[in-house]
Amino acid sequence: MDYQKYLRTDNFPHIWCSGCGAGVALKAILRAIDELEIAQDDIAMVSGIGCSSRTTGYVDFNTLHTTHGRPLTYATGLKMARPDMTVIVVTGDGDATAIGGNHLIHAARRNIDMTVVLYNNHIYGMTGGQASPTTPIGDIGTTAPYGAIENTFDISGLVIAAGAAYVARCTAFHAKLLGDLIKKGMEKKGFSLIEVLAPCPTAYGKLNKKGTGADMILDQKETAVRVAKAEKMTPEELDGKTVIGVLVDRDIPEYIESYNAAIARAAQ
Ligand SMILES: Cc1ncc(C[n+]2csc(CCOP(=O)(O)OP(=O)(O)O)c2C)c(N)n1
Ligand code: SF4
């Protein structure tokens, strides 16, 4: 596959540290797009602010690198104005579930047709390691020097409960599966979210003594359990595991179709 044609190499070198999961996620997104044979000019990729959100700077699509926490608002307006566009949002756990948490649940509730790829590295990477809504209890962040004390969001569970049509979770280790899950999400009519567990060795890993990026990615291999296997396991057996695969795939009314139907009713 020719990845080169999708990249703005004139913006390289990229900012991502060695061992960061962001590059794996980007490659999986590009593979999904390539397999679906979507023209580059028909794609709009929107991101917020963060290491994850820097993705838009490196790809040759229509791109919007917006404000922290707000990519879904820009993406919603864009999709309403140009429903013909394939809209992809790239965001982080801080961007999407802290400052942008409200937008996330409402975009999912509306079930507007777009695909969100959320890089969950359990911390604010770009700003040096503040705790995020997914920092596990007891883990260290610069804003939680004695260990995080707040309950965490299960991002996928949150978005399922809010009403998304398609939700999947994967790790950076399972790169091939990740591309397949993103592809399915892009094919889905409605709001789809793929949560990517992406190692951040520099901030989260260093503060929590998780070793190198390679160590963190190998740990993902050990702790991941596919959905089909997880269904046969007890809650005790699943403790400390990460369930990966398609978590929800349902056909429910999509926002723009409902909106157009409302306009048609108003015009009668
Ligand atoms: C309104 C606003 N508040 C705070 C910031 C500072 N800021 C930039 S990136 C970031 C956190 C990014 O974390 P996350 O979304 O998890 O992305 P990561 O860098 O970990 O990929 C913060 C707090 C900002 N740019 N704008
Ligand atoms: S700080 Fe963390 S999230 Fe940011 S590029 Fe480095 S490894 Fe990736």
- Please give the Cα distance from 55 to 208 (Å, whole number): 25
Residue among 24, 47, 126, 196 whose CB has most ligand 2 atoms within 8 A, to mutate: 126
The maximal CA–CA distance of the chain, rounded, in angstroms, is 64
Predicted local confidence at residue 19, as pLDDT: 97
Give pLDDT < 70 ranges for the chain: none
pLDDT tens, position by position, 198-248: 999 999 999 999 999 999 999 999 999 999 999 999 999 999 999 999 999
Q: Quick one: pLDDT at residue 16?
A: 98
Task: Give, for ligand 1, the residue of 126, 152, 204 to mutate: max count of ligand atoms closer than 8 Å to Cβ.
Answer: 126
Do the Cβ atoms of 115 and 178 come closer than 8 Å? no
User: Cα(91) to centroid of ligand 1, in Å?
Assistant: 10
Let me know if domain 20-267 sits in CATH 2.60.120.10. no
Rounded to 5 degrees, what angle do the CA atoms 48, 26, 13 make?
A: 85
| Per-residue model confidence (pLDDT) at position 64 | 98
Nearest CA to ligand 2 atom 5: 16
pLDDT (0 to 100) of residue 140 = 98
Predicted pLDDT at 142: 98
Residues with CB under 6 A from ligand 2: 16-17, 20, 22, 51, 121, 125-126, 200-203
Return the structure tokens found at 21: 């999961």
